[in-house]
Amino acid sequence: MDLTLKIWRQKDANAKGKLVDYKVTDISEHMSFLEMMDVLNEQLVNTGEEPVSFDHDCREGICGMCSMYINGEAHGPDKGNTTCQLHMRSFKDGDTIHIEPFRAAAFPVIRDLVVDRSAFDRIQQAGGYISVNTSGNTQDANSIPIGKAAADDAMDAATCIGCGACVATCKNSSAMLFVGAKVSQYALLPQGQVEAADRVMDMVAQMDAEGFGNCTNTGACEVECPKGISLENIARMNREYLKASSKG
Amino acid sequence: MSGILSSSIAKKVSMALSAFFLMFFLLQHFAINILSVFSGNLFNQVSHFMGTNPLIQYVLQPVLIFGVVFHFVMGFILEIKNRKAQGKKYAKNNGAANSTWMSRNMILSGIVILLFVLLHFIDFWFPEINTKFIQGDWSGMHDGEFRYFQELQHKFLSPLRVGVYCLAFVFLSLHLLHGFNSAFQSVGANNKYIKGLRSFGKLYSILIPAGFIFIAIFHHFNH
Amino acid sequence: MATLNSRVPKSDKIAEKWSKHKEHINLVNPANKRNIDIIVVGTGLAGGSASATLAELGYNVKAFCYQDSPRRAHSIAAQGGINAAKNYQGDGDSNYRLFYDTVKGGDYRSREANVHRLAEVSGNIIDQCVAQGVPFARDYGGLLDNRSFGGVLVSRTFYAKGQTGQQLLLGAYSAMNRQIARGKITMHSRHEMLDVVKVDGKARGIIARNLITGEIERHSAHAVVIATGGYGNVYFLSTNAMGSNATAAWKIHKKGAYFANPCYTQIHPTCIPRSGDYQSKLTLMSESLRNDGRIWVPKNLDDVKAIKEGLKKPTDLVEEERDYFLERRYPAFGNLVPRDVASRAAKERCDAGYGVNATGEAVYLDFASAIQRYGKEQALIQGVQNPSNEKIIQLGTGIIEAKYGNLFQMYEKIIDQNPYESPMMIYPAVHYTMGGVWVDYNLMTTVEGLYCIGEANFSDHGANRLGASALMQGLADGYFVLPYTIGNYLADDIRTGPIQTDSKEFDEAEKSVKEQLDFFINNKGTHSVDYYHKKLGNIMWEKCGMSRNKEGLEGAIKELQEVRKDFWENVKVPGSLNEFNQELEKAGRVADFLELGELFAKDALNREESCGGHFREEHVTDDGEAKRDDKNFAYVAAWEYTGKPSDAILHKEELEFKDIELKTRSYK
């Protein structure tokens, strides 16, 4: 298939940036979206132009590195997948495809489609851990029984890959699905109880300091999340926050 | 207060709590208004009670005013903050793919409701305040009978006003269709037990505004 | 040929070596640790866990990764699980049994003492991870669940759905975050190490490039730890991440660290086949699929042709027309033979023309009989009388979905075919490299103060790695081994004081790094970096892939030298130095792969035997199986760099097997 691509080009963080049109031809429907981008870049290198920068790494939907806002949706039109798992069979011959970076004030553009998501790291550093020494001198793993339901829910929350699609999709650029998932994982496990109150207060404070917007419950994040993280996690974070606040 | 409200979650919880209060108020407002369809007399008596009871006038009324103002002001503050958080806008954004129109346009429906509230105040509330607190007339009488029902019927004579009211109620419905369940989500109520509440929320969000529309139209044609 | 000293403790019993070693090792007191810096390059399971633990002990850690966050390291993609000799299932597991299975699975080419230590600390890993909040799968009683994996007789694999690697990495990442918040780890994301700096023969720092600004930076430390993973991307197509590279490992090799057994590569049998030349990477599906899937190709070439032309569907072929080649060749283990054996058998059939997709490189993995089996079982359990075939399929599909749902979904996303109705197509792909930087028992390379951990070193898996052991090794090295052994070295460094970065050694290292980068940018070439990477990958796959022979390897060495020459003349890198430049990043990585590939072929040529992932066509038994030569090749081949790969000098570390009897692996 032949396609027209409208791609955001921006030299560096301070440059202005604009959408630029490119044509690619003979794209196979079996290609992944990123392989189509590889074809474009090979074409650009051969004609002496600078290739399009984009983040990607594992190309199997787990590392969370790839981003891209494709035709107005984070990770493109398909649901439950990352950009690297999107295939060209989701498009048709003659289509025009808009490709933009994830947008949020807290995710500044580094170059072209590459954005800086280190705000997520800083939120985790604020309390996204259990303070246990890595000496291995802990109690035996089976001495902490955890009900299957809680363990499964914690696992569901923990599958977040930190890609930032929730923020990119949210009209408020809110990071509450990301933070809610991490808070939930630990809130559901007995190991996480000791520091639960401090954790949620500190992580929310850092989230606010990073300049993310507020959640207005549109639910767009849940729909676009490649891992299907549920809004229930945001509700749980709200509860945890209220509980922690009431303790003072 | 300002310290607690400085965090994002506290703000959204406060939005939700004021929303609960307003939704409860809306329900009781509707309950009284619908009486006017069945019996002008009954409507007059309840209105007079509400209009002259000191608890309601001196305690609940200020609380209500505060609730309304708070909800609006906080709504605007959040909107401004959220716009700032967005950074640059997308050249192409397909919001319909992942969220409802209502959820993405609460500020729009909110502004329409705010304008309506102003109109509503000009129509009913300011004259009430004028009569009771400035002229000092707490009798509720006009020409020897209760004035409430008369005033109500009088207001709905104008087709333009009825039209504006109906339109505003449509926006109220749109606002509630997202707002009702959103408020529950904000206070952390979202799990398998609460799913049933969703359909109730939908029902409430459609039936209450529809009821108000019915009342307006009813009085337009029956006087 | 010199002999290498592995520094394995001499105490008699293997089970006592590690504990005695720990008891007698030098320690650094807490006050002094504050004055010691350690650089850790790579933040996967090994690097992440090491950074966190070293920081917690009190050292100042400077951690580096090329990704935008430590959480993205490719350890995250591991699916199946992590082994630990907990014996929670009471099925007779023990440290010794895990040790034995790992040595046997590695085809008797690993260092006994290292493997035993690995087994000893394996249980602690699980305790540690649970304490950190890793949500391992649990049973209804709330206790940890286990599954079994290929090549062993017990259930010792702990898992978190199909995302065990992700959860373990996020655990290590959270431990890192805690130390970053405390200021004990300085995290340098989007940085790539381009050289190591040696002062007086000791590793004292690195030269790194800030990938956002292009700035070349000097970082000093009292010790340097390399944890940058394997070199599978030398094949271009592999299940590694696109950015996975061998640059750090290769640069330290060029500065004196010996590189061991580069020819030991694991080719994983259950990957999604390639669909065309544009393909950038291969996707693995967990080995657990082979528990229920049967692997076959058509018996007749006519059927293969009909399937390729779309005239027949695989489901049209009746049992008699199918060749279940693993069950035919290995009746005892059938579809559950180890990875290397299964991979070679699939390649053999495809080479003979029986491949079932357009590229001719795919075999079927069929779940139809498992669906029938589970369906009938379920009908019985649920009391369905005389179930129809549709009912059986429906019930059976439910069970298969519960077990492998996410894998089937992944397959359907990529191939756009429903694997419940039509058999999956699979083909082997490069997955893991057992070879790597040579290290002694303390995980130190042949350069003092330079350590190498995780997949980047060669130590624990011999010639073949068993499933669910990579995660175990990465975390064992990082959490429980290196933090002890590095103290032994650093104890002598407490009076050294801060390492200055304005020395001539740093000047020289930086100069050579800058020269290479300048060359790439200024070279007015004609071909992109990927063009050369694909050429390299093609040579490696064809001649150093699943089976190798003398002629092919010699040809590969010659071809690689030609490609390398062409690369250095005609490579084209757009953009400039001081900016975010992904083509420039790739150029440096491919330059190193081009050299590593040659050493790989040289090592494969040297190893005149078939063992584990290394299969030499000249060395087979009468019925075509791998033939090991313990008399002549029970050694680790560690190569010393002397200027170019072809001149590398071989050093041998003889392997001693005191606690395990050497046996021929048989899966018949």
Is residue A104 within 8 Å of residue A165, measured between CB atoms? no
Closest Cβ opposite residue C575 in set A50, A126, A138: A50
Among the listed residues C584, C489, C14, the one whose alpha carbon sits nearest the alpha carbon of residue C225: C489
Confirm whether C339 is a catalytic residue: yes
- Of all residues in chain C, the one with the smallest CA distance to A109 is C212
* C421 and C278 assigned to the same domain: yes
In words, the CATH class of domain A3-111 is: alpha beta
pLDDT in tens, C519-567: 999 999 999 999 999 999 999 999 999 999 999 999 999 999 999 999 9
Q: Would you list the domain boundaries of chain A? A: 3-111, 117-247
Rounded CA separation B84/B66 (Å): 27
What pLDDT is stored for residue B40 in this prediction? 92
**DSSP 8-state secondary structure symbol assigned to residue C136:** -
Chain centre to alpha carbon of residue B122:
15
Is residue C244 in some structural domain?
A: no
In A, which residues are within 8 Å of B104 by CB distance?
171, 218
Amino acid in the structure at residue C174: S
Is residue B140 in some structural domain?
A: yes
Q: Which residues touch A162 (CB under 8 Å, ≥6 apart)?
A: A64, A117, A120, A178, C69, C71
How many contacts, defined by CB atoms under 8 Å, are there between A and C? 211
Closest Cβ opposite residue B188 in set A6, A69, A242: A242
Structure tokens at C162: 């199909």
Amino acid in the structure at residue C618: E
In B, which residues are within 8 Å of A107 by CB distance?
87
pLDDT in tens, C126-135: 999 999 999 9
* C420 and C279 assigned to the same domain: yes
* Residue ranges for chain A with pLDDT beneath 50: none
Element (H, E) at A155: helix A148-158
Q: CB atoms < 10 A from the CB of A198, how many?
A: 14
* C278 and C424 assigned to the same domain: yes
Question: Is the pLDDT score of C598 beyond 50?
Answer: yes
Strand partners, B188: none
Rounded CA separation B165/B221 (Å): 15
> Domain range holding C420?
274-428
* Helix%, strand%, coil% for chain A, nearest 5: 40, 15, 50
* Residue ranges for chain B with pLDDT beneath 70: 1-4
**Termini Cα distance of chain B:** 49
Domains identified in chain C, total number = 2
Give percent of chain C with pLDDT exceeding 70: 99
Closest Cβ opposite residue C74 in set A58, A159, A186: A58
Structure tokens at C545: 């892939």
What pLDDT is stored for residue C1 in this prediction? 45
In C, which residues are within 8 Å of A121 by CB distance?
69-71, 177, 180, 187, 189
Give A20 to chain B, closest Cα distance, Å: 12
What pLDDT is stored for residue C288 in this prediction? 81
Average pLDDT over residues C342-347: 92
What pLDDT is stored for residue C467 in this prediction? 86
Question: Is the pLDDT score of C666 beyond 80?
Answer: no
Using the Cβ of B68 and the Cβ atoms of chain A, whether some distance falls under 8 Å is answered with no
Mean pLDDT of all residues belonging to chain C: 94
The confidence band for C337, taking pLDDT boundaries of 50, 70 and 90, is confident
Domains identified in chain B, total number = 1
Q: Do A223 and B99 touch (CB under 8 A)?
A: yes
Q: Do A72 and B90 touch (CB under 8 A)?
A: yes
**CATH code of C346's domain:** 3.90.700.10
Average pLDDT over residues C386-399: 93
What pLDDT is stored for residue B1 in this prediction? 41
Q: Which 115-174 residues of chain A touch chain B by CB within 8 A?
A: 169, 171-174
Give percent of chain C with pLDDT exceeding 90: 86
Indicate the angle between helix axes C95-105 and C14-24, nearest 10 degrees: 110
Amino acid in the structure at residue C179: Q
Average pLDDT over residues C279-292: 88
What pLDDT is stored for residue C151 in this prediction? 66
Is residue B94 in some structural domain?
A: no
Give B167 to chain A, closest Cα distance, Å: 24
Average pLDDT over residues C187-205: 98
Whole-angstrom CA distances from C410 to B39, C156, C159, C418, C626 are: 65, 26, 19, 11, 34
Chain centre to alpha carbon of residue B151:
20
Q: Can you count the helices (H) and strands (E) in chain A?
A: 8, 7
Is residue B91 in some structural domain?
A: no
What pLDDT is stored for residue A237 in this prediction? 97
What pLDDT is stored for residue C80 in this prediction? 82
What pLDDT is stored for residue C615 in this prediction? 95
Among the listed residues C621, C338, A235, the one whose alpha carbon sits nearest the alpha carbon of residue B193: A235
- Of all residues in chain B, the one with the smallest CA distance to A245 is B4
Rounded CA separation B75/A78 (Å): 33
Q: What is the ipTM of this complex?
A: 0.97
HSE (CB half, 13 Å, CA atoms) of A84? Answer: 23
Is residue B93 in some structural domain?
A: no
Q: Do C77 and A31 touch (CB under 8 A)?
A: no
Element (H, E) at B63: helix B61-86
Rounded CA separation A237/A233 (Å): 6
| β pairing state of A114-115 and B141-142 | unpaired
Which of A40-54, B54-68, C154-168, C334-348 shows the lowest mean pLDDT across its residues? C334-348
In words, the CATH class of domain A117-247 is: mainly alpha
* C372 and C512 assigned to the same domain: no
In B, which residues are within 8 Å of A235 by CB distance?
185, 188-191
What pLDDT is stored for residue B2 in this prediction? 47
Closest Cβ opposite residue A51 in set C86, C177, C574: C574
User: Residue length, chain B?
Assistant: 223
Q: Do A176 and B8 touch (CB under 8 A)?
A: yes
Using the Cβ of A90 and the Cβ atoms of chain B, whether some distance falls under 8 Å is answered with no
Q: Do C283 and A60 touch (CB under 8 A)?
A: yes
Q: Do C275 and A30 touch (CB under 8 A)?
A: yes
Closest Cβ opposite residue B8 in set A208, A217, A232: A208
Give B216 to chain A, closest Cα distance, Å: 32
Using the Cβ of A95 and the Cβ atoms of chain B, whether some distance falls under 8 Å is answered with no
Rounded CA separation C647/C636 (Å): 18
Burial (Cβ within 10 Å: 0-12, 13-18, ≥19) of residue A21: exposed
Is residue B96 in some structural domain?
A: no
What pLDDT is stored for residue B193 in this prediction? 74
Q: Which residues touch B97 (CB under 8 Å, ≥6 apart)?
A: A72, A73, A77, A223
pLDDT in tens, C473-531: 999 999 999 999 999 999 999 999 999 999 999 999 999 999 999 999 999 999 999 99
> Domain range holding B150?
4-83+105-221
Select which of C339, C349, C564, C589 is catalytic.
C339
Is residue A223 within 8 Å of residue A79, measured between CB atoms? yes
Closest Cβ opposite residue A204 in set B9, B92, B182: B9
Is residue C507 in some structural domain?
A: yes
HSE (CB half, 13 Å, CA atoms) of A90? Answer: 20
pLDDT in tens, C643-656: 999 999 999 999 99
Rounded CA separation B178/B103 (Å): 5
Using the Cβ of B94 and the Cβ atoms of chain A, whether some distance falls under 8 Å is answered with yes
* C421 and C329 assigned to the same domain: yes
Q: Which of C377, C405, C428 is the last residue of a domain?
A: C428
The set of chains that have 3 or more CB pairs under 8 A with B is: A
Rounded CA separation A127/A209 (Å): 14
Q: Which 15-44 residues of chain A touch chain C by CB within 8 A?
A: 28, 30-32, 34-35, 38-39, 42, 44
Is residue A134 within 8 Å of residue C128, measured between CB atoms? yes
**DSSP 8-state secondary structure symbol assigned to residue C450:** E
What pLDDT is stored for residue C298 in this prediction? 97
Q: CB atoms < 10 A from the CB of C73, how many?
A: 33
Is residue B215 within 8 Å of residue B222, measured between CB atoms? no
| β pairing state of C157-158 and C82-83 | antiparallel
In A, which residues are within 8 Å of B89 by CB distance?
103
Is residue C539 in some structural domain?
A: yes
Is residue C456 in some structural domain?
A: no
The confidence band for C403, taking pLDDT boundaries of 50, 70 and 90, is confident
Amino acid in the structure at residue C62: K
What pLDDT is stored for residue B3 in this prediction? 52
Whole-angstrom CA distances from C573 to B78, C67, C234, C532 are: 47, 21, 20, 12
Is residue C400 in some structural domain?
A: yes
Q: Can you count the helices (H) and strands (E) in chain C?
A: 19, 19
Q: Which 140-199 residues of chain A touch chain C by CB within 8 A?
A: 140-142, 144-148, 151, 154-155, 158-159, 161-162, 185-186, 189, 191-192
